[in-house]
Structure 1
Amino acid sequence: MSGFIPIVEGWRPDLAGREGLPVTIVHGRRDPIMEIGFARRAKDALEGGGLDVTYHETDAAHHVEPRLIPELQQWVADRVPARTA
């Protein structure tokens, strides 16, 4: 759940027409793989594009803190309709 937008020469994310799209970003300030600035820039870019960003910055490293799992499950449940068998 690391929050980042790839940095590739000549490529930019196409955010047009995605206004209001719900996005969640979870990123740890102690992540040794992708520093927290990637998540902060992604948040700013997505919000600037009109997306509905839920942002969690934690003291974790390169993992999702278990205490956030119920909140993330609820975030998904609130946005994805339940399917009946």
Structure 2
Amino acid sequence: MSPTIEAISAMPNGEKPTYLLVMLHGWGANYQDFVPFAKMLNFPGFGYFFPNAPFEHFQVPGGRAWYALEENEFTGLATSRKLLLNWLTSLEASTGVPLDRTVMAGFSQGGAMTLDVGLTLPLAAICSFSGYLHYQPEFQDNKTFPPTMIIHGQQDPVVPIEAAKKAQDELTKIGVSVQYQEFMMGHEVQDPAIALFKQFIQDNLNFN
């Protein structure tokens, strides 16, 4: 069976959304991982989508992977890029919400996918939690990027803080507007990080 993107959604009060938030889980987790974000953020007029990575995790029962981190070749990355890009661009047809009112965020490997695919689209904003770069960004003439936030734990034992600093440096070099913030936390998303992310969304979508 060919890999696909499946997703669960949360549409508060069953209303038609004005904005969307797409949240990508990390390596070995699945699309249930960040469903609580919908209630934590509680934005008016927002619909929330939580896609499942297309590949089974090689070791974790029920876990998913965007690509094989256990291999140096990152097997599956090209497939996930294409699937995720196609899925994201299809959301407007099903929700009525355009990409410029859609926010994309991800955690760990999901953060890496966000800093990859998200920067190729005219999204309202993107955010990487505990993420990293899995590619070398290249400068492109007349290319515009969505506002970008990188949030990372100073005590992260899984993705070292140096990976976040490198991502900030490399993306800034090609013209990405990066808001960077470290917190005293590990490989996780604590309340202060969520509060900052919430403010970031409010600032870039111009609503209260």
Q: Give the TM-score of the pair, scaled to structure 2.
A: 0.34
Rg larger for: 2
Letter of the structure 1 residue corresponding to residue 136 of structure 2: R
Pick from 155, 158, 170 the counterpart of residue 33 of structure 1.
158
Moved over 4 A (4+): none
Cα pair 1:15 1:46 within 8 Å, conserved: no
Letter of the structure 2 residue corresponding to residue 48 of structure 1: K
In the alignment, structure 1 residue 18 sits paired with structure 2 residue 144: yes
Identical columns (%): 30
Q: Give the TM-score of the pair, scaled to structure 1.
A: 0.76
Q: How many residues align?
A: 77
1:1-85 mapped onto 2 (5 Å cutoff)? 1-6=129-134, 11-16=135-140, 17-18=143-144, 21-80=146-205
Answer 1 or 2: which has greater strand percent.
2
User: CA offsets, 1:14-62, max 9 Å, x none?
Assistant: 552135x310000111111111110000000111111111101112100
Structure number with the bigger relative contact order (C-alpha 8 A, sep ≥ 6) is: 1
Residues 15/81 of structure 1: CA separation in 2 closer, same or farther (3 Å cut) = farther
Unpaired segments ≥5 residues, structure 1: none
Measure, in 1, the Cα distance between the counterparts of 2:161 and 2:196: 21
Unpaired segments ≥5 residues, structure 2: 1-128
Measure, in 2, the Cα distance between the counterparts of 1:34 and 1:70: 22
